[in-house]
Structure formats: C-alpha cells, structure tokens
C-alpha cells in the first residue's frame, strides 16, 4: 500500500467505493487522514462499513464544510455530460477534487529513496487502443529482464494498492482518459501515447475534450521521455509540442504507417519488422512476424511503444526481443483460444469501438466475424472498410438488426452469443478465423467486456468438445 501524504488529521471525502475508491480510503487512513465515504449503491457502502469506514451522504447540506478534498472514482462524471451532484456541491463549496492517480503521484516518493542507488521510476501509458497490451508488455519485458516491476492503474492492481517502490524498481501504469483528466498530480518518468480514435465522446464533450484529457499526462506531467504514436494528427501535434527541435530525443516517435526519418529518436514497424533509428542511424531491429502473442499491425504498434519505453529505461534491444517472444498476450485482446481443423478462434472482446475492431479484423484473413452490442456515438459504417476480410458477420446484441443493416458484408442477425458462435462454427472452413471483435460496448447484455469474452470462449470450447 502507498499511504497518502498531506492529509494527516484532515477529513477527505471519497465518492465511489469500487476497487479504486476503497483502495483510496485505505491509503488515506494509512496516511492518518479521516476518510468520509459515500456510494449510491448500498452494497458498496456495506463493504466499506465492514472495513470500519464511515459512510455519510455527501448530498446533505453542509457535507463539505470540514472536508479538505474530494476523491472521485473514474466512472463518476465531474463535468460532461453533467457533473455528478456531489462533485458539483464540492466545487460550489470550494473543495478541491482529485482522484486516486493524483494521490499516488503526490505520495509515491519517500525519504528512503535517498538511500537507493537508482530511484524507482514510473511509466504511464495512455491512448485509445492498445494501452492495456502496451502496459502489460512493458511490465513483461521488465520482469523478463530481471527488473522489479509492478503493473497498476486501469489494469492489474489499484495504484494505491501496490507496494512502495524499491531500489531500481519500475511501476507501469495504464491510465484511461477518465483518470488523466482529473488527477491533480501527474509526474511519470516516461509517458506513452499509443493512438487516438473516437471513444467516450459524451464524457469529454467531443474529440477535443477527449484529446485534452489524454494530453494532460504530458502537458501537466513533464515526463523525462515521451513515447508518442504519430499516425494520427493528434499524436503528431503532441510530439511537435513536446519536442524542442528535430533532434530532441526526449520525444520518441512511433509509427506503423510509414518509415520515420530524421535526426531524432524513432521506432516504427513496416511489413512485420520493428526498426529503431537514433540520430539518423539504425540502433535495433526485430522481426515481429513470428511472435504469436502480438498478431496484426495494431499489436506491432503496441510492440513499438513498449520497445521505445523500455529503451528509454536503458534496456538493450536483444533483451527486449527475447521478452517479446515469451509474451503470452492478454485475455480478450487478440487472444487465440483454439486452432482446430485449420480454423482459428480469436477472442478480442476488448475491441469495444470501431477503430479497435478494424485493427482486429485487419490482423486476420477470411474472418467469420462475431460483432455487435451497444453502439457508440458515430455509428458503425466505418467498419465497411474491412469488408474484404469478412466472409460473414454474425451480429449479437439488443440492437443486432440495426447494426447488421449498416454493414456491407453478408450479415446474420443472431442476437445471442450462443447462436452467433454456433452458426459461425458451423459455417467456418479450414483457413478461416472465427473472431469476436464487437466494435461496441457490452452493457446491453453483459456487465463488462471481460464477461462477454468469457462467454465467447466458453461457447467455443463447449462446441469443440461436443
């Protein structure tokens, strides 16, 4: 646990008592603050009270009269589309609003660091797609290289649940836009921006607000090194803002769309080969084509970002290459679950938006595509760019008929995962891939994308055993 500093003897309100909220309450208590907790869900309050925390309805008049700060869980809106009433009350009372990420960055360093040969480092990863894989891959590479490393944030453990940093250790954080937009402290040593595509637009009032939330990690944090995917205009703009000139190697530019040249520091992938150039000379090269845990161009982008972040910490190219080959991949992200009778079965339930689904489809040929769910803003017409890869689509979700009507590919309305998997497996031929890449949120039928992916895996495995 990371005890929170700066609030000893003060009351700190905690709104939202899920994983991050409860961890924040524990860490505040460990730092001798007095947590005052609230969640609209009675079951969540019961869990907090069972740990000895006081739960007080923060909507009551005068609730913030003696509160030093309000800590808000990521899923609770504080500005768009409308601020939560409790957040609005805190702001009206002049109470600062923060989150667990802000508490972590203000509390992680300790006096014991003065005795370390090498202080702990923090790598923070954000972006629209691939940030979980990139963060997990960085953690895997560091661990395989013998470095003490912890994975936290939007993946792994809560940031305040991790152990204090040891001599030469590294914390790898995956940070969503919900986390970066509110944190009052953001000071990573290395910050990674994977890419940007439309997502969570209602929460951020459009693409400008969404990009601004991601950009805070770099503008507020001032990392020693920034790894920036520049294949979208926002990434190219961000890299340009951070660099003092063409040769400024504090910015490492990443691309999977083109070869990068110039006197700076670049990492790019073309035709399955990763290349690193620095000061106009090649410094490393890796053949990514045979790495089973990283299929497709989108995973090659993740590999480039992870490679660059680890190079920024001084790891050798060959050490990184060896670790890439042993990376098993993450569940629900281009996860190969079976290869039977010449047919490959892939679970990419994390492909919850159009851009991530397009990238998943581009990684395979002759796809029997299980898709659908709760559509996000902007519709799904852009998916038709991948029509050539799709043999047939099998559409699930309460909006399955409308989803299917927007596709140019041959589409079958199945509604349920069970029917979609049954039909796809019945139709599939050797050389084809049955791929779950929904291009939509899961909340119309499932609690989360993990549950949806687990259902797909269970349906496939059950039928393979029949």
pLDDT band for position 434 (cuts 50, 70, 90)? very high
Q: What is the pLDDT of residue 309?
A: 98
Angle between helices 317-325 and 131-144 (to 10 degrees): 110
Q: What is the pLDDT of residue 91?
A: 96
Percent pLDDT > 90 in the chain is 84
Does a structural domain hold residue 459?
yes
- Same-domain pairing of 249 and 343: no
pLDDT band for position 293 (cuts 50, 70, 90)? confident
Does a structural domain hold residue 404?
yes
- The whole domain housing 237 covers 103-325
- Domain of 317: which CATH number? 3.40.1190.10
* Residue range 15-54, pLDDT digits in tens: 999 989 999 999 999 999 999 999 999 999 999 999 999 9
Residues placed in the known binding site: 127-133
- Same-domain pairing of 75 and 16: yes
Q: What is the pLDDT of residue 379?
A: 76
- Same-domain pairing of 113 and 145: yes
Neighbours of 159 (CB within 10 A): 30
**Where does 390-432 show beta strands of DSSP type E?**
390-396, 411-415
> pTM for this one?
0.85
Mean pLDDT over 94-110 rounds to 97
- Same-domain pairing of 289 and 341: no
**Where does 302-348 show beta strands of DSSP type E?**
335-340, 343-347
Residue closest to 138 by CA, chosen among 349, 372, 323: 323
Residues placed in the known binding site for ATP: 127-133
Last residue of a domain, one of 98, 126, 150: 98
Neighbours of 105 (CB within 10 A): 21
pLDDT(231) > 90: yes
Q: How many separate domains does the chain show?
A: 3
- Same-domain pairing of 247 and 215: yes
- Same-domain pairing of 218 and 359: no
pLDDT(362) > 90: no
- Same-domain pairing of 378 and 402: yes
- Same-domain pairing of 268 and 393: no
pLDDT(378) > 80: no
- Domain of 443: which CATH number? 3.90.190.20
Give the span between the Cα atoms of 14 and 97, in whole angstroms: 10
Using a 10 angstrom Cβ sphere, with 0-12 exposed, 13-18 middle and 19 or more buried, the burial of residue 111 is exposed
Give the span between the Cα atoms of 101 and 79, in whole angstroms: 18
Does a structural domain hold residue 5?
no
Sheet-wide strand order for 67-72? 54-55, 34-38, 11-15, 67-72, 97-98
pLDDT band for position 363 (cuts 50, 70, 90)? confident
Does a structural domain hold residue 290?
yes
- Domain of 33: which CATH number? 3.40.50.720
Does a structural domain hold residue 2?
no
pLDDT(113) > 90: yes
pLDDT band for position 465 (cuts 50, 70, 90)? confident
Give the span between the Cα atoms of 171 and 234, in whole angstroms: 26
Q: What is the pLDDT of residue 172?
A: 98
pLDDT(388) > 90: no
Angle between helices 42-50 and 19-30 (to 10 degrees): 30
Does a structural domain hold residue 4?
no
Last residue of a domain, one of 295, 325, 355: 325
Token pair in block for residue 128 = 């629209």
Handedness of CA 28, 33, 39, 42 (dihedral sign): positive
Mean of pLDDT over the chain: 94
Mean pLDDT over 239-262 rounds to 95
Using a 10 angstrom Cβ sphere, with 0-12 exposed, 13-18 middle and 19 or more buried, the burial of residue 60 is exposed
Residue closest to 162 by CA, chosen among 41, 312, 25, 2: 2
Last residue of a domain, one of 292, 325, 358: 325
Mean pLDDT over 257-273 rounds to 95
Q: What is the pLDDT of residue 7?
A: 98
- Same-domain pairing of 125 and 92: no
Residue 48 near residue 24 (C-beta atoms within 8 A):
no
- Same-domain pairing of 358 and 263: no
The tokens 């006081």 sit on which residue? 54
Does a structural domain hold residue 15?
yes
- Same-domain pairing of 318 and 259: yes
- Same-domain pairing of 148 and 289: yes
pLDDT band for position 155 (cuts 50, 70, 90)? confident
Q: What is the pLDDT of residue 466?
A: 74
């Amino acid at each position: 646990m990371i005890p929170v500093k700066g609030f000893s003897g003060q009351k700190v309100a905690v709104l939202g008592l899920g994983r991050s909220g409860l961890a924040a309450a524990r860490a505040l208590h460990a730092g001798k603050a007095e947590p005052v907790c609230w969640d609209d869900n009675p079951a969540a309050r019961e869990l907090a009270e069972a740990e000895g925390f006081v739960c007080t309805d923060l909507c009551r008049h005068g609730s913030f009269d003696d509160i030093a700060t309000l800590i808000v869980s990521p899923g609770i809106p504080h500005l768009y589309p409308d601020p939560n009433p409790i957040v609005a009350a805190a702001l009206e009372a002049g109470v600062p609003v923060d989150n667990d990420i802000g508490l972590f960055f203000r509390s992680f360093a300790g006096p014991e660091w003065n005795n370390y040969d090498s202080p702990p480092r923090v790598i923070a990863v954000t972006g629209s797609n691939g940030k979980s894989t990139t963060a997990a891959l960085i953690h895997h590479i560091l661990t395989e290289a013998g470095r003490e490393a912890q994975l936290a944030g939007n993946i792994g453990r809560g940031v305040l649940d991790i152990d204090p940093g040891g001599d030469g250790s590294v914390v790898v954080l995956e940070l969503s836009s919900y986390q970066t937009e509110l944190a009052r402290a953001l000071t990573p040593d290395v910050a990674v921006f994977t890419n940007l595509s439309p997502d969570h637009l209602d929460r951020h009032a459009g693409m400008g607000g969404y990009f601004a939330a991601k950009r805070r990690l770099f503008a507020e944090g001032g990392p020693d090194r920034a790894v920036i995917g520049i294949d979208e205009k926002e990434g190219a703009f961000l890299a340009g803002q951070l660099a003092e000139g063409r040769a400024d190697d504090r910015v490492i530019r990443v691309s999977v769309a083109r070869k990068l040249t110039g006197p700076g520091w670049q990492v790019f992938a073309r035709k399955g080969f990763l290349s690193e150039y620095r000061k106009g000379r090649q410094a490393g090269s890796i053949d990514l084509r045979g790495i089973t845990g990283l299929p497709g161009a989108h995973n090659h982008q993740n590999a480039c970002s992870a490679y660059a972040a680890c190079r920024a910490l001084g790891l050798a190219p060959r050490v990184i290459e060896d670790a890439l080959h042993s990376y098993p991949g993450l569940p629900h992200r281009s996860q190969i679950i079976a290869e039977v009778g010449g047919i490959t079965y892939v679970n990419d339930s994390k492909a919850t938006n159009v851009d991530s689904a397009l990238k998943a489809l581009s990684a395979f040929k002759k796809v029997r595509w299980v898709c659908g769910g709760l559509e996000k803003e902007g519709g799904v017409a852009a998916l038709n760019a991948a029509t050539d890869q799709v043999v047939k689509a099998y559409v699930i979700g309460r909006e399955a008929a409308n989803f299917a009507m927007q596709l140019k590919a041959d589409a079958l309305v199945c509604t349920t995962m069970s029917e979609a998997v049954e039909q796809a497996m019945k139709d599939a031929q050797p050389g084809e891939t049955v791929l779950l890449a929904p291009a939509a949120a899961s909340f119309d039928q499932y609690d989360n994308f993990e549950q949806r992916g687990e259902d797909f895996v269970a349906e496939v495995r059950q039928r393979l055993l029949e």
